[in-house]
Chain A
Amino acid sequence: AQTVTQSQPEMSVQEAETVTLSCTYDTSESNYYLFWYKQPPSRQMILVIRQEAYKQQNATENRFSVNFQKAAKSFSLKISDSQLGDTAMYFCAFSTTSGTYKYIFGTGTRLKVLA
């Protein structure tokens, strides 16, 4: 069975600094997708970044980038130049790409950006 683990329940970072959120997963699938979602206090879920497992190049979206280590089953999110608006819960998520689809979310990391 697939699992997603986020081992950091809470983190904080100073404004303009860089922070890395960790995520590990377990699967026997060869191809799959990994995601980072942001949930600000408004509770709206917003996709931050997406990575397809067969693509070796790490995905980037502006200040957000991932470090995807397929062999280690690790998928960390780096936020550069942190802004106050980055304060939110961040969820790592996994989905299969074929067969019986599964969508699995981690328990989240609460990130607080300090002024």
Chain B
Amino acid sequence: DSGVTQTPKHLITATGQRVTLRCSPRSGDLSVYWYQQSLDQGLQFLIQYYNGEERAKGNILERFSAQQFPDLHSELNLSSLELGDSALYFCASSVGSIGGNEQFFGPGTRLTVL
């Protein structure tokens, strides 16, 4: 158990809908990262927040947005969902903000768009 929690574990929805994925980092970690893993693919970095502020941005679609709240939990919002958005979404956390920090990954949320 990494100490990072993600909810829900599974999510099934329809095209065009909007969903919110939630992540709680390890106690003491200030950075939260979001990744997308499509079927049998590597991870695609989406976005990083550090202590409430956006720190780095990857290949995140405009239909996707994220935020980190004062209690440091984070939410990833996915809207106007398409079939291709079906994937495993991971959240990770680390103590600091620099790239070399060890990231601890949550168990992921599996999103299925029908």
Q: Which residues of A contact B (CB under 8 A)?
A: 32-33, 42-47, 50, 52, 91, 93, 95-98, 100-108
Contacts and interface: CB of A to CB of B under 8 A. Distances in A.
B70 interface: no
Given A33-B100, A93-B43, A100-B56, 13 more contacts: A44-B107, A45-B90, A45-B105, A91-B43, A101-B48, A101-B56, A102-B45, A103-B48, A104-B45, A105-B43, A105-B44, A106-B42, A108-B41
Contacts of A95: 99-100
Contacts, number: 62
B24 to A, nearest CB: 16
A-B pairs, top 6 by smallest CB distance, nearest first, are A95-B99, A101-B56, A45-B105, A33-B100, A103-B45, A105-B42
Interface residues of B, number: 25
Residue picked from B2, B56, B99, B104, most chain A C-beta under 10 Å: B99
